[in-house]
Every structure is written in C-alpha cells, then in structure tokens.
Amino acid sequence: MTTVTRFAPSPTGRLHVGNVRTALHNWLLARKAGGKFLLRIDDTDAERSREEYVEAIREDLAWLGLTPDGEERQSERLPLYDEAFEKLRGEGRVYPAYETQQELELKRKIQLGRGLPPIYDRAALKLTDAERAAKEVGGIAPHWRFKLDHDEAITWDDGVRGLQKFDPAQLSDPVIRRADGSWLYMLPSAVDDIAMGVTDVLRGEDHVSNTATQIQMFTALHAAPPRFAHEALLVGSEGKLSKRLGSLGCDTFRERGIEPEALVALLARLGTSQPVEPIAARETLVNTFDLSTFGRAPARFDDAELDRINAAIVHQLDFADVADRLPEGMDAAAWHAIRPNLETVAGASDWWQVVTGPVAPPAFDDETRAYLAAAADALAWSDTPWADLTASLKASTGRKGKALFLPLRQALTGRDHGPDMAELLPLIGEDEARRRLRTAGTA
C-alpha cells in the first residue's frame, strides 16, 4: 500500500512554526516511504477562512521546498460530508442536541464541582419526539453529536506514544455539526482521510483524544482507520508553552534572513534523539527520518539554535545558490571570501561595502601610522599580495602576530576582524589598498 500523508491547515492565519514542523514531518514520512504528501485546506469555517491565507500557505510550503503531490479544499467537498452525515444518522450514530453554550458550561461546572469529569451527559438522547419537536417549534435549532459506542475500549498502536487505550464512556460524544449546519473538524477530516486514501496521520499530541473518537468514526463509516502518530508539542526556550511560537511564521523567518534549509534542518530533528545538525541535503533528512526516535518530552524551540544552524547553512551555500541575492558586482571570489563571516546572506552587503569602500579606520598612534605608511610603500602586487606584504613587513620591522596583522586589517577594512585577508585584499585591489594604507599612515 502506498503511504499517503496529509497536512491540513485551516486558512485562518499564517502558518506558524508548529504548523511548519507538522507539515515537514508528514512530508518526510511520505518521502521516506516513496509515497505521497497531500495538502488539504480545511476551510469549512467560511467566516474565518481567508483566500489570502490559502495563498500564503502555498507560498510558505513552496519556500520550504515541501511540494505537495495533490491539493484538496474542504469547501469543495461539502456533499461528501452531507452524504456521510445522513448515513450515520440513518444508522443512529448521530443525534440532535439542543443545549446552549451557557447550559453546557453550567453542566461542566457542576460536574467539576462534584469531582466528576466534565463529560456530556447525553441528556439529548433522553428527549422524546414531542420534546424535540417543541424545541424546534420554539426556534431552537439542534447541533449534532456523534454517538460513541461504549461497548469496548478504543485502542491503537501510536507511532510515537505506543499502545493507546481509551474508555469511550469517559469521552464526550463530540459535536460534529453546528446548529447553523456548518461543520466542525472531526467528521469531515475522517471522511476526507478515507476518500483521499490517507494511510498515516502524524500530528500533535493535543489531538490524542480526538483520535480516539475519530477511530470510531472510521469504523462507523465502514473504513479502516489510518495509522496514527502524535508528536510532542513545541515549547519555547524558557521551557514553557509559549504564545510567541504561535506568531513565529515563515514570513518572520524570511525577514530575519533565515534560510529555508536551516529551518527544515532544525525542525526535522527537533524532539527526536537524533542530533540537530546543519544538514542542507534533503535526502539525508529523509533517509534518517524515524518515528522511533521521537521522544515524549516537549520539543524545545530555541532561536539561538536556529541562528547557529542558519549560519552554518549559509557557510555551505554556493555562489550559484545566492547570486541573485548579492550586491551588484559581487562575484564568486568575493562570496567565497566573505561567506565564512556571515550569519545571513543579507549580511554580505555589509562586507561588500568594506570591499568597495569607503572605510573608516580607527585613529592610530604615530608609530602605527609610520608602520602603515611603510606598508603602502612595501605593497607589491602578485598572486599572493597579502602573504608577500606581511612577509616583507615582518622582515623589515620585526613585528609579528597581532602587532603585524591587526593595524593592516584595520587600515584596509576599518574592522578588527573579518574575512581572511589573503582573499579580501585581492578584492580591494592594488590601487585602493595602497590608497587606504597611505591615508591611514598620514591621517
């Protein structure tokens, strides 16, 4: 059987880092098995769904390189849900309920006050036909619940959490359809998973109880449930669930200069026993993806770790990968020289400014100015101008180490540190280099 996974975001906002991790892991799971990764836009909430967010989801997945093998939209599949609903209704697996939100909340408070779990009491099942008719005549439209089968435990072998077992009597019959006829998440999702041939559902551990109820929905629809796996949720670096993670989206990462390869490398292994490394090769991440390495502890997302991975990824990028993002005139030699000092590709502009000038060296004392003036006279151009210059100055002045190299770097770049001067000096060029040395020596 071909492995089929899916990513099913609701287009009610931008993707955040938790969504991205879920999408990535489903993509990796499918790619490792040689299967299919599908995108399903869960846009049944017409009031909150926005087309701009649909486009943003597609753009973010494209930026990350997570190309889906197919796309579906729930808003175009409503007849399927109606058909499944009527089938379940005819078999007595869905029923109307008439409580208001306030009445349900009061019931929950009473149950909690008595030390009982806040489970729906199935009061709607006790209504007579006459009582239901009276409510509807009175203008109370029902919402609809799926009736759980209490006869046997719900079990499945979770791909991350192992054997899971739920007593259905300890779960509320889930609301699947609102009074206005609109759908909640669980039934349409199950219907789509069946129709789309989804074999594996990998999602956050906050869906574990949903899975228990959905397994019964699959059974009621006479379909085998997919394999389920629930991974630990992301937490912030402070060790607590962070609302901030919900605001960290691909747009934010792009503005920070984060490479998609860096975000993918981090999220691919975050929460697993495998080391997080700056792996740019997708094939490596695919081949090493393994649900058995996922832990139960919360997965900690750390901005500093992402920045570290990003810098390491940038240091691996070839000139062809970044040429369209570099300053005008910056060639492959310049990229090779500057790349080891970058944290983001955008930082290349600062170092290219050092090459093209002007630069502002620090104020030097008289002895150092004399040394730099001598350096301007000693500069002779060759294939190795930096090595030749420093060797000549070492011999003529007796300087070595920091005293030899630092004043030259400061005069030529205006910086105390930076790229290898052996690569940088040829980029500056003979005339400009001599001019900078002479200026620093006479200032």
Q: In a structure prediction context, what are the per-residue pLDDT tens digits for the chain, which is 443 residues long?
A: 899 999 999 999 999 999 999 999 999 999 999 999 999 999 998 889 999 999 999 999 999 999 999 999 999 999 999 999 999 999 999 999 999 999 999 999 999 999 999 999 999 999 999 999 999 999 999 999 999 999 999 999 999 999 999 999 999 999 999 999 999 999 999 999 999 999 999 999 999 999 999 999 999 999 999 999 999 999 987 766 566 777 789 999 999 999 999 999 999 999 999 999 999 999 999 999 999 999 999 999 999 999 999 999 999 999 999 999 999 999 999 999 999 999 999 999 999 999 999 999 999 999 999 999 999 999 999 999 999 999 999 999 999 999 999 999 999 999 999 999 999 999 999 999 999 999 999 97
What residue spans of 138-259 are helical by DSSP H? Answer: 186-195, 208-220, 250-255
pLDDT of residue 243: 67
The CATH code of the domain that includes 220 is 3.40.50.620
Residues 113 and 129 in one domain: yes
pLDDT of residue 242: 66
In a domain, 386, yes or no: yes
In a domain, 224, yes or no: yes
Residues 87 and 36 in one domain: no
- Under a CB-based contact definition with an 8 Å cutoff, are residues 7 and 68 in contact? yes
Give the residue numbers spanning the domain of 369. 357-442
Residues 340 and 407 in one domain: no
In a domain, 272, yes or no: no
The domain boundary, picked from 201, 216, 233, lies at 233
pLDDT of residue 240: 64
In sign, the C-alpha dihedral spanning 42, 47, 53, 58 is: positive
Residues 42 and 86 in one domain: no
Residues 344 and 372 in one domain: no
H or E element, residue 36: strand 36-41
Structural domain count, the chain: 4
The domain boundary, picked from 197, 213, 233, lies at 233
**395 CB contacts (<8 Å, ≥6 apart)?**
none
Asked if residue 243 belongs to a known ligand binding site, the reply is yes
In a domain, 64, yes or no: yes
In a domain, 243, yes or no: no
For 31, 220, 225, 288, 383, the CA distances from 87, given in Å and listed in that order, are 35, 9, 18, 43, 81
For 149, 182, 333, the CA distances from 144, given in Å and listed in that order, are 16, 10, 67
pLDDT of residue 1: 84
Report the distance separating Cα 118 and Cα 73, nearest Å: 34
In a domain, 296, yes or no: no
pLDDT of residue 239: 67
pLDDT of residue 228: 98
In a domain, 247, yes or no: no
Residues 64 and 194 in one domain: yes
User: How much is the pTM?
Assistant: 0.91
Residues 69 and 208 in one domain: yes
Q: How many CA atoms lie within 13 A of 363 on its CB side?
A: 0
The domain boundary, picked from 355, 370, 405, lies at 355
Q: Cis peptide leading into 174, omega within 30 of 0?
A: no
